[in-house]
Amino acid sequence: MSLFNLLKSNQKSTSPRIYLDTASGTGIDQEVLDAITTYQAQSFGNPSSLHQEGNRAKEDLHQARQAILDFLGDRKGQLIFTASGTEANNLAVFGSVWVYEKKQIRAKGSIVTSSLEHLSIVKPVENLASRGWSTVTIKVDEKGELDFSSLKAVLEARLDVVLISLIYGHNEIGTVWPIADIGQFVEKLRIKRGSVYPLFHIDACQAPRFLDLQVAKLKVDLMTLNGSKVYGPKGVGALYVKAGINLEPFILGGGQEGGLRSGTENVAGAIGLARALKLCAQKKDVDNLALVEKRDWLEQELIKAIPGIVIHGRSTNRLPHNLNFTVPEVESELLLIALDELGFAVSTGSACSLNKDRDNRILTVLYGQAPKEASVRLSLDRKITKKDLQQFLTAIIKIINRQRDM
């Protein structure tokens, strides 16, 4: 039976849809939406304007910025609002190395990343490599665990490392690395050398719902945040910059955001991001316990019901909402489309035109060669219930059995 006929044979669900793709994007928390709506109904000034409306917008933006710095535990730091996590990652990479080049009169240094980084880090680093920068990629094992000893060896051996950029809570396989331990090592290395380098940046877009982001504990210099992953608004991100760290901008214009990100600020988005992060801090412990229990139950049920299923990533030190797996002999694209028809939203990293650079790239890193079926990624919503997951389990088993019987 063809893929078309298989899908045609499935009846579309009339029940409410069940969303299992929060790593791609969350809904917006009602409290966040209320805060944004209230602000937009009452204020519309440009923060750069000198009249009362502009001054009010400027103060509201300041309050949002300070609230996020409080969330991170560092009011002395700088927070640059951006339009996305991708933009913040780009600013962290390019901004850091361009300052170094300027100080060193066009000298090139080295950048250290891992083999599991998001493409918004990979692509800027590749761009810099084409311009003469050296790059070092730290490998991971089959479970996605970072080779910390190799990272230490590289940093001890190379005096020209300008930037280390690592993901904190992986978007595809959920792996969480010991960022605080790495940060402590980097800090000691800098003290020993009497240098501000290497700078340490983390991509924390997936982290606020689940992990500690106190920068003093993590000992990071730069951190990327993203509203669309934390029940906040789409179209707003932020880059935390430790006091004393200088960056060069790549968006030029009116000099907003301390000259580092020109363009009229999205004040409503900043307010929404600040409120979303506050809610993450309040709900994190309860959410984590509930999500781990539900995810682990589903994982065990999938293992019992689906012969040969492969679970990707670690069983511990994993984001609580993440479950990534491959079903042998069943293409993940087929599963995604069939599940979507039945009312379930999941993600796949298969090598189709829209996803070719996503999860297949990650699975290739883990295993040397990605499974031809690729994988299905589930990332659970905080509102998901056991009943929802039971319905998902029933649906996916039905689809898999039908496909394997063909």
Q: Which of 249, 223, 278, 253 is nearest to 79 (CA)?
A: 223
Q: According to the model, what pLDDT value does residue 326 have?
A: 95
Whether residue 5 has pLDDT greater than 60: no
Residue 324 sits in a domain whose CATH number is: 3.90.1150.10
Which one of 251, 279, 307 terminates a domain?
A: 279
Q: Which amino acid is at 404?
A: R
pLDDT at 3: 46
SS3 224: strand
pLDDT at 20 exceeding the cut of 80: yes
What mean pLDDT comes out for the span 236-265? 95
Looking at the predicted structure, is the pLDDT value of residue 324 above 70?
A: yes
Higher pLDDT, residue 131 or 3: 131
What pLDDT does 404 receive? Answer: 74
pLDDT for the residue 351: 39
Domain containing residue 50: CATH number:
3.40.640.10
Q: Do 250 and 329 have their domain in common?
A: no
Are 337 and 358 found together in one domain? yes
pLDDT score at 353: 37
d(CA 211, CA 168): 9
Same domain, 14 and 117: no
Mean pLDDT across 81-94: 98
Let me know whether 61 and 22 are in one domain. Answer: no
pLDDT bucket at 4, cuts 50 / 70 / 90? very low
d(CA 151, CA 66): 34
Same domain? For 204 and 151 the reply is yes
Residues 378 and 338 in one domain: yes
Is there a single domain that holds both residue 362 and residue 389?
yes
Could you say which DSSP state residue 146 is in?
Answer: B
Q: Give, to the nearest 10 degrees, the angle between helix 85-103 and helix 119-129.
A: 30
Residue type, position 313, single letter: G
Task: Kindly state the percentage of the chain with pLDDT values over 70.
Answer: 94
pLDDT at 54 over 80: yes
Tell me the average pLDDT across 182-205. 97
Q: What is the pLDDT of residue 103?
A: 86
Instruction: Give pLDDT, residue 352.
Output: 42
Cβ atoms within 10 Å of 15's Cβ, excluding its own = 9
Q: Are residues 274 and 289 in the same domain?
A: no
Strands of the sheet with 310-312, listed across from one edge:
310-312, 322-326, 376-379, 347-348
Pick 406 or 362 by higher pLDDT: 362
Confidence of residue 12 (pLDDT cuts 50, 70, 90): low
- Same domain, yes or no, for 386 and 306? yes
Q: What single-letter amino acid sits at 38?
A: T
Evaluate if residue 358 carries a pLDDT over 70: no
- Does 327 lie in the same domain as 231? no
Q: How far apart are CA 14 and CA 65, in angstroms?
A: 43
Where is average pLDDT lowest: 268-272, 308-312, 353-357, 383-387?
A: 353-357
Q: Which of 234, 253, 279 is the last residue of a domain?
A: 279
- The confidence band for 349, taking pLDDT boundaries of 50, 70 and 90, is low
Catalytic positions:
352
Regarding whether 291 and 156 lie in a shared domain, the answer is: no
Distance between CA 319 and CA 20 in Å, rounded?
14
The 3-state DSSP class for residue 45 equals coil
Task: Give me the domain span that covers residue 17.
Answer: 3-28+283-404
Residues 19 and 35 in one domain: no
Instruction: Examine the fold and report which residue of 279, 297, 319 is the final residue of a domain before the chain moves on.
Output: 279
**% of the chain exceeding 90 in pLDDT:** 85
Query: For residues 14, 19, 21 and 25, what is the CA-based torsion angle, rounded to 10 degrees?
Result: 110
Average pLDDT, the chain: 92
Contact 48, 256 (CB under 8 A): yes
Tokens 């240098």 belong to 195
The residue with greater pLDDT, 103 or 36, is 36
User: What mean pLDDT do residues 284-293 have?
Assistant: 95
Nearest to 246 by CA among 83, 81, 103: 103
pTM equals 0.93
Is residue 8 scored above 50 in pLDDT?
Answer: no
Number of H helices, E strands in the chain: 12, 13
Q: What is the tally of structural domains in the chain?
A: 2
